[in-house]
Structure 1
Amino acid sequence: MGVNAYLQQAYNTESYRAMYTAEQLEIESNLPAFVTAAFAIAVFAGALAAIGLLLRKSWSVKLWVLSLIAVIVQMGYLLINGFASSTGMTIMIIAFAFIFVWFARKSEANGWLS
């Protein structure tokens, strides 16, 4: 879902524009580049980490941590500056990022990853 959301935003698709008001699209287009970069890192690192975890690879733990850091940067900026369209959803994304890191580390500690 995250990769799809990023690609829709990056390519400014019609379906992406239809989901938001003109004001929200204006805010998004004026976000600093580091926020967009953090979004890309968060979703692509997370997607690769999920694949790595399914393949039981220990490198997935590092990618989950990278994704978590990027999520904190991106969502933190949106929350601090009042740009989050849904505070609950934003906090939930951060919480899930922590859960994924916790689970990956637990999997590694249990010897499930190689």
Structure 2
Amino acid sequence: MENQKTKIPKWFWAVASFSLLWNLMGVSSFFQQLTMTGEALKALPLAEQELYNSYPLWTFIAFAFAVFGGIIGSIGLLMKKKWAKPAFIISLLAIIPQMIHTLFFTKAKEVYGSGTEIMPILVIVFGIFLLWFSTIGIKKGWLK
């Protein structure tokens, strides 16, 4: 019975693949911020420059944990590994304070206008979803 293979539904692969693409976009955004030159920063409108410079270092570190935890978790899903769940836990634990800071402790809404809160909320919701999804994958025997 232990050697019996658990059939994984096709939609699992679609979710796992979307998860990887989503987190690759996050990594891309992280590296865009990491490699932003002073020249590129000066090309932004003054309000955006001030917003960018107002973020404390810890938010950038949280961003790194969030996106790399998400990538590792997504790869874990695609490899059918249980360690996807702890990676998503790390990612979510980094996402929440980072997004709370963006939503409530910056002038992002003033700079970018209404709708600014949509992406941070989506990031939190998807982080929670991926943690839940990996938990279900373990319970169903899809992740070993």
State the TM-score, normalizing by the size of structure 1. Answer: 0.88
Q: Which protein has the larger Cα radius of gyration, Structure 1 or Structure 2? A: 2
How far 1:73 sits from its partner (Å)? 1.1
Unaligned runs of 5+ in 2: 1-24
Given candidates 31, 38, 54, the residue that maps to 1:7 is 31
Q: Give the structure 1 partner of residue 20 of structure 2.
A: none
8 Å CA contact 2:70–2:91 kept in 1: the answer is yes
Q: Give the structure 2 partner of residue 109 of structure 1.
A: 139
- How big is each residue's C-alpha offset from its partner over 1:30-60, in whole Å with a ceiling of 9 and x where there is no partner? 3111111000110011011100110001111
Q: Give the structure 2 partner of residue 23 of structure 1.
A: 47
Find the aligned partners of 1:43 and 1:19 in 2 and give their Cα distance: 26
How far 1:93 sits from its partner (Å)? 1.0
Q: Give the structure 1 partner of residue 8 of structure 2.
A: none
8 Å CA contact 2:30–2:64 kept in 1: the answer is yes
State the TM-score, normalizing by the size of structure 2. Answer: 0.71
How far 1:22 sits from its partner (Å)? 2.9
Aligned residue pair count: 113
- Counterpart of 1:110, as a letter, is K
Identity %: 34
Give 4+ residue runs of structure 1 displaced > 6 Å after superposition: none
How far 1:103 sits from its partner (Å)? 0.3
Q: Does 1:54 align with 2:84?
A: no
- Counterpart of 1:87, as a letter, is E
- How big is each residue's C-alpha offset from its partner over 1:70-93, in whole Å with a ceiling of 9 and x where there is no partner? 010100111111444411121111
Find the aligned partners of 1:88 and 1:20 in 2 and give their Cα distance: 22
Q: 1:20 to 1:50 in 2, by over 3 A?
A: farther
